[in-house]
Amino acid sequence: MRIRKDEHFQQEFETFGFVWSCERCVHFDGPGDHCSLLWPHADHLEAAAHDPETPFIIFCKEFDLN
């Protein structure tokens, strides 16, 4: 799912402390280019949320905290 990083989203992101990135997912297995489910994770890393050149945050449908 793609969510535009507009002012409204940024405010909610900070207010509610969204947890969404690969680094926070149980399927993230460290360095490399994909998670344990073999999905590429370049677009889902925490850094993408703070990159001004990236207009969207891409949420992974497999994200799982535990």
Per-residue pLDDT at 16: 92
3-state DSSP of 28-66: CCCCCCECCCCCECHHHCHHHHHCCCCCEEECCCCCCCC
Q: Which residues contact 35 (CB under 8 A, 6 or more apart)?
A: 22, 25, 27, 28, 29, 41, 62
Q: What is the pLDDT of residues 5-36, one digit of tens each?
A: 888 988 998 899 888 888 889 999 888 899 99
Where do the structural domains in the chain lie, given as residue ranges?
2-58
Q: What is the pLDDT of residue 44?
A: 83
Q: pTM score, two decimals?
A: 0.69
Q: What is the pLDDT, as a whole number, of residue 15? A: 94
Tokens of 50: 């703070």
Q: Is the dihedral of CA 26, 37, 63, 55 positive or negative?
A: positive
With 80 as the cut, is the pLDDT of residue 55 above it? Answer: yes
